[in-house]
A and B are shown apart, each in its own frame.
Chain A
């Protein structure tokens, strides 16, 4: 508790709203994230999770409210190597791309190194270290497109880790990863959090699998419905679920998108 007072929050979000045209994606979100926590950010599809993440990463400019990263307002923040990002794998890259695991992971350093400079020996060591951290050292010279979904996702984690970030953000990283790999994957994240002290934000709609691993949970569906410790969440889970679920039904009727319904059912605990 004392440590938290000395250090700034990793992330401070105040009154954040964002809309695409007339449709509000997120409204009035207030969220502070402590250093060293492992936050599960949950909500049904279309609940504004990705919008929130994009606002944190500077991919979207906040329309209302403010975002502070490591105590600095978003528009003044330059040290992007302190944040690692792993996006939904699905449509973010061309699987025919001629790049090896080594080359993909090295991309995590490119923003930091700066122009006219190339990788030094030290950078190369870091790249190999990051690949080892995710257990992909046997595939270092393999083409990224030839790996399985779970293996690709590990490579993308390594790419995010190679700049040695203090905050790692993962947006639905387990989409397209088979069920057995998912548990290994979460275990690996937990290790990164506990052993390396990296603050993690894991965006998911898969509440059941996630809740064993995280320290904190935040639920959003346009608004922030809950933010607290994982145990507290377990306690209120049912209530939370129905609250979210109720909003989900509203979203359903607006969008006529029945897909949400099924996926959310899949994530519900027994």
Chain B
């Protein structure tokens, strides 16, 4: 605790970034193979609603002024995540509907709450596009706590989640409870999205979940490699993004995403070249 309090704002930002760069691809790999990476978009927007609600509450209700908007962001993200599951069951034949429903509700509610709350443009800007220099000690605690919770869930259910993602029917016949697992997975995704908010920003959270694994799946031979390479790419994008955004004074999330896109392009080129190489030999 003492050590954490002595950190400079930049060190806090870097630690937060490294945690996010590690966990986003880890969960992203599961979203990828389950073909639901798009859910991250819906959840990031409903998280914005939570954050605006938090800001609004801390202003409007005196005894709630200690509320860190990240926590209300997480609560909304969790509710959204469970709701997505529910909507996918209700619209069994049109499962893709769940995402636009949650996304547009999220952004609509946010707009309402933003106009009610009185905040500076800068505060919203950092939530939209991410910023490492505004990571407070309280934010860092939140990121560490949610990161740890996400790792615990993954540690507990990694095998089960993989089996269900590959072949749900078979997984059920080995005694794995799909409903229970889907619940924990929803919690996991909600944790990861709300955790990334401060550094990467609402508009770009989906990128951190998607880009590293989209790059790694191009060259990975196994699921394990998708995860390991995804983490390496995620951390690389994160470090490059933080460094460049600090020295050039541009939005952190933006640079991180651009770095992720560059990695994606490189892996695609590498795949092309190696395939051409094997075809020629």
Contacts and interface: CB of A to CB of B under 8 A. Distances in A.
Interface of B is mostly: helix
A99 B224 CA distance: 8
Interface stretch (A105-113, A246-254, A256-264): A105-113
B155 A85 contact: no
Interface in B155-185: 155-160, 162-163, 165-167, 169-176
B91 interface: no
A119 to B, nearest CB: 8
Interface in B200-217: 217
Nearest to A108: B174
A98 B174 contact: no
B162 A110 contact: yes
A94 B223 contact: no
Given A98-B33, A141-B222, A111 B176 contact: yes
Contacts, number: 89
Interface in A92-110: 92-94, 97-100, 102-104, 107-108, 110
B231 interface: no
Nearest to B155: A116
Q: How large is the interface on A (under 10, 10 to 19, 20 to 34, 35 or more residues)?
A: 20 to 34
A115 interface: yes
A111 B167 contact: no
A138 to B, nearest CB: 15
Interface of A: 57-59, 78, 80-81, 83, 85, 87, 92-94, 97-100, 102-104, 107-108, 110-113, 115-116, 118, 141, 143, 159, 163
Given A85-B173, A100-B221, 9 more contacts: A59-B173, A97-B223, A98-B217, A98-B221, A100-B223, A104-B166, A116-B156, A118-B158, A159-B170
Interface of B: 33, 35, 155-160, 162-163, 165-167, 169-176, 217, 220-226
12 contacts: A58-B173, A59-B173, A80-B174, A83-B173, A98-B33, A99-B222, A100-B223, A107-B159, A111-B171, A111-B176, A112-B174, A141-B221
